């Protein structure tokens, strides 16, 4: 009896709780709609159509591929490859007063004309203020009244699992909203751009979304939608956006200068693995990047940075891995003076570095050795069936825009003499080249034969 009574009381309490909960929800329903928030955001997202001039070899290849596919499907055989094609994407108004619009560089690169369509149907001609292909950010401007700008949020505060919505024009369908969560942060080494620190999201992103807005639950811009991983050119739930903070940094330079003129530090950096942490006697494996190389005559060298130093922060921004170093330095302008915190033998050190122009550094190095600039060399000694015992200098690499490349010097060549003087190592070759004024005459072994090559200083 007691047990039956206990069960009866339990069921009554459970039923009472359910009834109370039902009444509570009925009287105070939970509003899960984001429609009110979107009313203030949607007018800031625009459609962009750019007439692109075909100049890129890859674009021509893609158009030829489409032509072949069309013919295979029964299309006309007399199709010609067009001189232009239409690029369709999205953009985000970030300054209503000045008419500034953020988008992707790949949407408007090489554009002859750009048409911007607002959410209310108005059309305007877009003017390119500047673009930065390495980061895939571009800034447009339109002359229009009554614009609505989006509020830019702090993408550094994002966390995996946060709600986000993607707004854009997928497949030309204007003002489309999809939602999801942040799937991952700090995605790098994807090979999409030179500078990568992507937000990964499962909010569906499709062709035409490029340049559109990724917003948080408050309706603030946290990213610029850029790319997808899709085997069939459709969304499979893996999309990538450029963080708003990164886009804002580029935008400021484009407004001020019309371009991004990056400075260089002159180091190679490597992420810290558990094995490296053990070898360097480091306890924290989640922060920092180890300096693996320091270039000669670089800002890093002049500031005293050494191989083996651990970079902890750059201008106050914490460094978690090698990609953080690349991205942080990559968005700083030439002549920027920065403070770098490093650990050397577990001791914290702060060094001040002034970033230099990579072109100027290249000019200085090329001036020091104009004949062999861009050529990778190593000492070489081998017993060859064709040439006998060979001592010389092996050409390992040759940059394609160098004077040596223009003179037909190629990787695999073995230099045995310079200006009719025998050379057996790199130091001997460099000494002769440094003293040469106008031309450098090289005798080169190439396979079973040998040739003379002339490198002109004034090529």
Q: What positions carry a catalytic annotation?
A: 106, 136, 210
Distance in angstroms (rounded) separating the CA atoms of residues 246 and 166: 18
Residue 435 has pLDDT above 50, yes or no: yes
Kindly report the CATH number that applies to the domain delimited by 369-456. 2.30.42.10
Q: What is the dihedral of CA 66, 68, 70, 73, to 10 degrees?
A: -140
Residue 99 has pLDDT above 90, yes or no: yes
Q: Among 4-18, 73-87, 142-156, 438-452, whose mean pLDDT is lowest?
A: 4-18
Beta bridge partners of 356: 264
Mind spelling out the 3-state secondary structure of 92-142?
Answer: EEEECCCCEEEECHHHHCCEEEEEEECCCCCEEECEEEEEECCCCEEEEEC
Average pLDDT value over all residues in the chain? 82
Q: Where are the domains of the chain?
A: 38-74+82-141, 155-257, 267-359, 369-456
Distance in angstroms (rounded) separating the CA atoms of residues 415 and 413: 6
Is the pTM for the entire model greater than 0.75? no
Structure confidence at residue 424 (pLDDT): 93
Domain 155-257 has CATH 3.40.640.10: no
Structure confidence at residue 92 (pLDDT): 95
Count Cβ neighbours within 10 Å for each residue of 127-160 and write b for 16 or more, e otherwise.
ebbbbbeebbbbbbbbeeeebebbebbebeebee
Give residue 64's pLDDT band: very low, low, confident or very high (50, 70, 90).
low
| Residue 44 DSSP code | G
Contact indicator for 115, 126 with CB cutoff of 8 Å = yes
Of residues 185 and 20, which shows the higher confidence score? Answer: 185
Give residue 11's pLDDT band: very low, low, confident or very high (50, 70, 90).
very low
Average pLDDT over every residue of 401-419: 92
| Residue 150 DSSP code | P
Residue 10 has pLDDT above 70, yes or no: no
Distance in angstroms (rounded) separating the CA atoms of residues 72 and 64: 12
Q: Which of 346, 349, 341, 418 is nearest to 377 (CA)?
A: 418
DSSP H helical ranges for 234-342: 244-257, 274-279, 299-303, 322-330
Distance in angstroms (rounded) separating the CA atoms of residues 108 and 354: 33
Average pLDDT over every residue of 350-368: 80
> Which homologous superfamily does the CATH classification assign to the domain defined by 267-359?
PDZ domain (2.30.42.10)
Distance in angstroms (rounded) separating the CA atoms of residues 101 and 128: 10
**369-456 has the same fold as 155-257:** no
Kindly report the CATH number that applies to the domain delimited by 38-74+82-141. 2.40.10.10
Q: Is 382 helix (H, G, I), strand (E, B) or coil?
A: strand
- Burial (CB < 10 A; 0-12, 13-18, 19+), residue 348, is exposed
Distance in angstroms (rounded) separating the CA atoms of residues 9 and 6: 5
Q: What are phi and psi of 265, to 5 degrees?
A: -95, -40
Beta bridge partners of 187: 198
Q: pLDDT tens for residues 246-295?
A: 899 899 989 988 888 888 888 888 888 888 888 888 877 668 889 999 98
Distance in angstroms (rounded) separating the CA atoms of residues 402 and 412: 16
**What does each C-alpha distance from 292 to 125, 268, 307, 342 come to in angstroms?**
49, 5, 5, 13
Distance in angstroms (rounded) separating the CA atoms of residues 16 and 22: 10
Contact indicator for 295, 267 with CB cutoff of 8 Å = yes
Q: Which of 122, 112, 181, 179 is nearest to 148 (CA)?
A: 122
Structure confidence at residue 102 (pLDDT): 95
Give residue 298's pLDDT band: very low, low, confident or very high (50, 70, 90).
confident
């Amino acid at each position: 009896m007691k047990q039956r009574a206990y069960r009866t009381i339990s069921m009554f309490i459970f039923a009472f709780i359910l009834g109370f909960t039902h009444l509570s929800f009925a009287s105070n329903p939970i509003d899960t709609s984001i429609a009110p928030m979107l009313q203030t955001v949607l007018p800031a997202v625009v459609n962009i159509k750019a007439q692109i001039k075909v100049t890129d070899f890859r674009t021509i290849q893609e158009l030829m591929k489409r032509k072949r596919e069309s013919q295979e499907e029964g299309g006309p055989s007399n199709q010609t490859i067009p001189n232009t094609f239409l690029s369709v994407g999205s953009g985000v108004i970030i300054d209503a007063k000045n008419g500034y619009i953020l988008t992707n560089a790949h949407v408007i690169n090489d554009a002859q004309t750009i048409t911007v369509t607002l959410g209310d149907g108005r059309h305007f001609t877009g003017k390119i203020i500047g673009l930065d292909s390495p980061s895939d950010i571009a800034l447009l401007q339109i002359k229009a009244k009554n614009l609505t700008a989006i509020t830019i949020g702090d993408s550094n505060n994002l966390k995996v699992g946060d709600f986000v919505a993607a707004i854009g024009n997928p497949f030309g369908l204007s003002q489309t909203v999809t939602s999801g969560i942040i799937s991952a942060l700090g995605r790098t080494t994807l090979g999409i751009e030179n500078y990568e620190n992507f937000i990964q999201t499962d909010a569906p992103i499709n062709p035409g979304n490029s340049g559109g807005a990724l917003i948080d639950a408050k309706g603030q811009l946290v990213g610029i939608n850029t790319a997808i991983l899709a085997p069939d050119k459709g969304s499979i739930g893996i999309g990538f956006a450029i963080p708003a903070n990164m886009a804002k940094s580029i935008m400021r330079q484009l407004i001020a200068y019309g371009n991004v003129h990056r400075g260089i530090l002159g180091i190679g950096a490597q992420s810290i693995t558990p094995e490296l942490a053990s070898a360097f006697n480091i306890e924290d494996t989640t922060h920092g990047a180890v300096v693996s190389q320091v270039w000669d005559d670089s800002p890093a060298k002049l500031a005293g940075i050494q191989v083996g130093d651990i970079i902890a922060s750059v201008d106050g921004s914490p460094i978690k891995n090698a990609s953080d170093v690349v991205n942080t330095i990559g968005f700083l302008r030439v002549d920027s003076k920065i403070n770098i915190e490093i650990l050397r033998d577990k001791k914290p050190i702060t060094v001040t570095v002034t970033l230099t122009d990579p072109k100027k550094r290249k000019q200085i190095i090329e001036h020091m050795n104009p004949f062999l600039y861009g050529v990778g060399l190593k000492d070489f000694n081998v017993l060859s069936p064709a040439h006998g015992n060979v001592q010389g200098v092996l050409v390992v690499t040759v940059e394609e825009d160098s004077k040596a490349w223009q003179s037909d010097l190629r990787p695999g060549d073995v230099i045995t003499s310079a200006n009719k003087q025998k050379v057996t190592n790199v130091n001997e070759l460099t000494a002769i080249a440094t003293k040469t004024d106008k031309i450098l005459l090289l005798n080169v072994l190439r396979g079973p034969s040998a040739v003379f090559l002339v490198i002109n200083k004034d090529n």
